[in-house]
Amino acid sequence: MRIESIALAKVRLRLVHEFQTSSHRKDHLDHILVRLTDADGTVGWGEIASPSDPYYCAETVDTAWLVATRYLAPSVLDTEAATPGELEDSWRRIRGHEFAKAGFSIAAWSLWTAQQGVPLARALGGTREEVVAGVSLGIERTIDDLLVQVQAQVDAGYQRIKLKIAPGWDLDPVAAVRSAFPDHDVHVDANGAYGSDDETFSHLRRLDDFHLTMIEQPFAPRDFTSHARLQAVMGTPVCLDESVVTVDDLHTMLALKAGRIVNIKVSRVGGLSAARRLHDIAQEDGIPVWCGGMHEFGIGRAANVALSSLPGFVLPSDVSASSKYFRRDIIDPPITADHGVVRVPTSPGLGVHVDCGWMDAHTLESIELDVNHPNGRDTTPTERSEPWQ
Ligand code: OSB
Ligand code: MG
């Protein structure tokens, strides 16, 4: 492939239900969609699913836009590559900015697999025809509100429920959900909100009573040693999310026994090749993995579904149906789940169709770069209907 043009669009979709983690609350998402076009006209779509604010990781939508327009797009423009990995090599010297890179990586894989006529999942080494999805539920104002949310998702067919926790919102909501849903697969995610003092350790150990599948990222991203200390005294498996960005991080986790499960997020690790590498290492070490999400629109979601079809993804992934998040997704048809199970697309490439009209109607800003406009030209739609629907 030789990339002839690159289009970037910052697109806003409102969430059907606002979402609160240990750090903040949000009711909409601004993701950057990446469209790479090859010299032969083949198109590949990707998604930069960075949060707007630097609370989950250091990146934001604004840093991603800067890095995408100033560094990533110029590095792929007019570059010849035989495989997605070769295109990813063109930005190897850029440090960090994994979310921005992931958007380009997904687009490169989408384009290449479309060109080869193979489904993305198969090209990645996926072996499953369907993947089991779980839902991730935010912190609610009251425990009753949370129980309503859990009931709605259980009614929708999901078998695995992940609950966000934070100091002050942990044992009581978890006890309430466990007693209402004694047989469901329940796990908790703290997004690094806890301090690592002795009192917190004894407090978190009490979660062992609720036979949770795992506790995800209780401590700060770089704090591998506290995760190792907690895992040594806790029966519930510790799962790392924010801590594992690179292959070295995974080796550190394994060497220190800082957890027993890994959440692999395409965005957090810088793309599909990196995600697959982490999967391969975890599989060699017998560590179960699952695919985490960032409330992706249909493009990023399709990439997550493809990744989740790899054999080491043995736990339910955060790849629930589009309808859990958006009234209408930017892909048509949207991603659906049947009893919490999502089918892996079998058509070539990403296997989803982007609804460009709906996307344009929600585009806040867009730019296109090609050999005649290497610095980009503004393509922001002038007639935007209602970016808030
Ligand atoms: O920690 O997995 C996380 C969303 C935003 C930031 C961090 C996380 C999440 C989720 C949502 O849990 C997962 C999803 O449904 O996409
Ligand atoms: Mg998490």
Instruction: Indicate the average pLDDT of the chain.
Output: 96
Distance (Å) from CA 295 to ligand 1 centroid: 6
Q: Which atom of ligand 1 is nearest to the CA of 263?
A: 2
Catalytic, 164? Answer yes
Per-residue pLDDT, 386: 55
Instruction: Name the token pair of 359.
Output: 């996307």
Distance (Å) from CA 335 to ligand 2 centroid: 21
All residues with CB under 5 Å from ion ligand 2: 189, 216, 241
DSSP bridge pairs for 367? 8, 378
Minimal-distance CA residue to ligand 1 atom 13: 293
Per-residue pLDDT, 22: 87
**Is any ligand 1 atom within 6 A of the Cβ of residue 304?**
no
Q: Which of 363, 369, 368 is nearest to 382 (CA)?
A: 363
pLDDT classification of 388: cutoffs 50, 70, 90:
low
Distance (Å) from CA 217 to ligand 2 centroid: 7
Distance (Å) from CA 41 to ligand 1 centroid: 34
**Is any ligand 1 atom within 6 A of the Cβ of residue 295?**
yes
Write out the DSSP string of 180-222. HSTTSEEEEE-TT----SHHHHHHHHGGGGG--S-EE--S-TT
Kindly tell me if the per-residue pLDDT of 13 is higher than 80: yes
Beta strands in 280-380 (DSSP E): 289-291, 341-343, 363-370, 373-378
Q: Which atom of ligand 1 is nearest to the CA of 324?
A: 15
What confidence tens digit (pLDDT) does each residue in 192-247 have? 999 999 999 999 999 999 999 999 999 999 999 999 999 999 999 999 999 999 99
Average pLDDT rounded to a whole number, residues 73-101: 97
Average pLDDT rounded to a whole number, residues 167-187: 97
Distance of CA 225 to the CA centre of its chain: 25
Q: At what angle do helices 171-180 and 143-155 cross, to 10 degrees?
A: 40
Per-residue pLDDT, 282: 98
Q: Which of 120, 42, 149, 72 is nearest to 310 (CA)?
A: 120
Catalytic, 257? Answer no
Per-residue pLDDT, 293: 98
**Is any ligand 1 atom within 6 A of the Cβ of residue 242?**
no
What confidence tens digit (pLDDT) does each residue in 37-74 have? 999 999 999 999 999 999 999 999 999 999 999 999 99
What confidence tens digit (pLDDT) does each residue in 156-169 have? 999 999 999 999 99
Q: Which atom of ligand 1 is nearest to the CA of 191?
A: 1
Minimal-distance CA residue to ligand 1 atom 12: 136
Q: Give, for ligand 1, the residue of 27, 47, 55, 56 to mutate: max count of ligand atoms closer than 8 Å to Cβ.
A: 56
**Is any ligand 1 atom within 6 A of the Cβ of residue 136?**
yes
pLDDT classification of 266: cutoffs 50, 70, 90:
very high
Per-residue pLDDT, 23: 87
Per-residue pLDDT, 151: 98
Kindly tell me if the per-residue pLDDT of 92 is higher than 70: yes
Average pLDDT rounded to a whole number, residues 329-353: 97
Kindly report whether the global pTM for this prediction surpasses the value 0.75.
Answer: yes
pLDDT classification of 384: cutoffs 50, 70, 90:
low
Residues in the chain: 389
Q: Which atom of ligand 1 is nearest to the CA of 162?
A: 12
**Is any ligand 1 atom within 6 A of the Cβ of residue 293?**
yes
- Give the rounded percent of residues in the chain with a pLDDT score beyond 90: 97
- Give the rounded percent of residues in the chain with a pLDDT score beyond 70: 98
**Is any ligand 1 atom within 6 A of the Cβ of residue 268?**
no
Distance (Å) from CA 188 to ligand 2 centroid: 9
Kindly tell me if the per-residue pLDDT of 33 is higher than 50: yes
Per-residue pLDDT, 382: 83
Per-residue pLDDT, 389: 47
Q: Which residues contact 371 (CB under 8 A, 6 or more apart)?
A: 4, 77, 78
Kindly tell me if the per-residue pLDDT of 147 is higher than 60: yes
Distance (Å) from CA 69 to ligand 2 centroid: 28
